[in-house]
Structure 1
Amino acid sequence: MSGGPGGRSAEGTEHLGEAANASARSIRPRQVLTVSRPALWINTVGVLVTGLWLCGQLYTPSPAFWTLLAYLTLPYNLLIYGLNDLSDRAEDALSPRKGGWQGARLRAAEAKPLLTWILALNLPFLLLLAWLLPPAALALLLLSAALFAGYSLPPLRFKARPLLDGLSNVAYALPLILPALLLGRPLPWLAVLALCAYSVGKHAFDAAQDSESDRNAGLTTTAVWLGVRGTALYACGWFVLAGALLWPLSRLSALALLVVCGGMALRLWRTPDVNTAARLYPLSIVTPWIVGGVSGVQLVYLLVRGLY
């Protein structure tokens, strides 16, 4: 029954519908990469490399270390942010900043394909690392992954629990310990505690820009609970603690953290609204590069000169 210009329209529409449904049931590799937030990989890769330098080594031939470094790129970050995007579909639909490099805006049909990608990229690495890593390092890595999963997924879903949402983000600091466990060196406790404090403060600061959309979606985060001004002071307190813990290790690093992170928190306190928080967010994104760069350059210099 295909006479005339519209004779093929029903069939064509059916094929287009099937193609759209197939597209909805799949996620392209480029989209998977976007979900993993490559701009934030420094938070995992950079921490591991800094941990190696804190052990007094610029380089290690250890296959376990390089496998771990590869895992902390796309697979691990897809676990962190993919699970977060899956659980935050309601909130992300109300957030104007989602749908690009700051986070995906997923459709219901994309949930299962994304979960498949997360499992496919994480499980092989975890099985290999279970063979390569010493038990303590493997346990710490799994604890970090479990905290990130608990942040996003029910029944724990720390994101919806004021204070616990930020405290669970100490998971970002745990990879700093892994090189020491791998190489049998003393644990860098002051650096770890400083990074824990920084991570809690940064989580609160970054969440301030989403406080309105989170509140509208019925989600109570620390930023929703404290309000933007209260969140700015709360974050600043953690940044001051992080700087104090860094001070005995490197005054220059401590000052960089206090000036950059403390400064942006005070700026938000003076103008406490979500628009100011959103404008400051790009600076928050680069704070690990700034503070990490100051610390890393000093460490590399001391290691090359044989002074550390």
Structure 2
Amino acid sequence: MTDGTGPMPRTLLSGAGATVRRLVHISRPVLWINTIGSGLVAVWLTGTLFDVRALPVLIWLTLPFNLLIYGVNDVFDQDTDATNPRKGSIEGARIRQSEVRLILWAVAVTNVPFLLAFLVTLPPLATAAILLYAVVFVCYSAPPLRFKARPWFDSLSNAAYALPLVIVPFALGDEPVWAAAVGLMAWSVAKHAFDAVQDIVEDRDAGITTSAVRLGPRGTALWSGAWWIVSTVLFALVSLPVAAVNLLIAGVLVVRLLRDPTPETGHRLYPLSVAFPYIAGSFAGVLLLVSIVLGGSR
């Protein structure tokens, strides 16, 4: 034993730091753009640079909610992740069975206080959308519904990624820009199926029939392309330049997969797919910020 200045506290701090780093890795920070990015755009769509009332929701959309999405996913995907060469990297963690309890506790500790506070402080429509958001992503990975293993439901359930465009305006007492929200829902359906192409072999070997497994690479390219066209039309109702950028990047992804429809091509295209929301979202954000600064309307 040592006093408060000895090695034991340093060891405890080091262990706590390692645990936090592990949980952050499991939350896949490279994909936080899909939650926090949508939340920020939602604020700007209300016509203001920032509203402090949105801050608790925006904080929740960082580590807490992404840990809920991907932590729960990793807990129930251990079999497929064990043979997936992408896992254990920036593209996702490969967890150990001994970590399951820690992950589930961390998900609860980081999310339940926010959800309880939202129930007390936010308007009913905002809290309903928040609860739907959380429930869909738990059901995506966890039995008995486990949308991930149900073709069509796996892809369609990812429309929930657009819910920050609904949650934030309702939280601020504003009306969502529905063309943007529904457009992002269509975009998210497309992207989920497209990204799953690279995992077709691992999912099929594990007995998981995703939309990508059912459709195959070529069929998935056509499925995703159709949804990206829908998103482009809806985005055009809000911003023609954003719609054009969306169509350009989606077109590159779909055409390249159609030219070489294999899981390997899906994996090679994954970095561009990950960059897609960063590019299109940044472009949309810049246009919105310019509009706000210059006093334009949404």
Match of 1:286 among 265, 271, 275: 275
Residue in structure 1 matching 2:19, options 28, 42, 46: 28
Cα separation, 1, equivalents of 2:221 and 2:93: 26
Q: Deviations over 1:263-301 (max 9, x none)?
A: 111111110111111111011111111111111111111
2:257 to 241, 251, 268: 268
Kept in 2, the 8 Å contact 1:247–1:254? The answer is yes
Matched-pair contact (CA < 8 Å) for 1:236–1:266: no
**Corresponding position of 1:15:** none
> In angstroms, what is the RMSD of aligned CA positions?
1.4
Tell me which residue corresponds to 2:63: 74
Q: Report if the CA contact (8 A) 1:240-1:262 is conserved.
A: no
Q: Return the alpha-carbon distance in structure 2 between the equivalents of residues 158 and 83 of structure 1.
A: 13
Q: Does 1:130 align with 2:110?
A: no
- Counterpart amino acid of residue 68 in structure 1: V
Aligned to 1:183: 172
Distance 1:29 1:61, change over 3 A: closer
Q: Residues of 2 paired with 1:70 and 1:184: CA distance?
A: 19
Quick one: which of 215, 223, 228 aligns to 1:226? 215
Asked if 1:194 corresponds to 2:221, the answer is no
2:193 to 204, 211, 215: 204
TM alignment of 1:65-104, pairs within 5 A: 65-104=54-93
Task: State the one-letter code of the partner of 2:247.
Answer: L
Distance 1:186 1:151 in 2: 28
Identity of matched residues, %? 47
Distance 1:184 1:75 in 2: 24
* Counterpart residue type for residue 54 of structure 1: L
Corresponding residue for 1:121? 110
Asked if structure 2 preserves the Cα contact closer than 8 Å seen for 1:48 and 1:179, the reply is yes
For 1:139 and 1:172, the matched residues in 2 are separated by 15
Count residues in correspondence: 282
Q: Partner residue of 1:42? A: 33
Contact kept, 8 Å, 1:233 with 1:266, in 2: the verdict is no
Instruction: Measure how far apart 1:57 and its partner are.
Output: 1.1
For 1:18, the equivalent position in structure 2 comes to none
| Residue in structure 2 matched with residue 259 of structure 1 by the alignment | 248
* TM-score where L is the length of structure 2: 0.92
Task: Find the counterpart in structure 2 of residue 57 from structure 1.
Answer: 48
Amino acid at match of 1:193: V
Give me the TM-score of the superposition, normalised by structure 1: 0.89
Contact 2:35 2:62 in 1 (8 A): yes
Distance 2:220 2:82 in 1: 23
AA in 1 matched with 2:44: W
Counterpart secondary structure, 2:52: coil
Q: Which runs of 5+ in 1 are unaligned?
A: 1-22
Instruction: Give the superposition deviation at 1:202.
Output: 0.1
Q: Is the 8 A contact 2:57 2:168 kept in 1?
A: no
Distance 1:176 1:112 in 2: 32
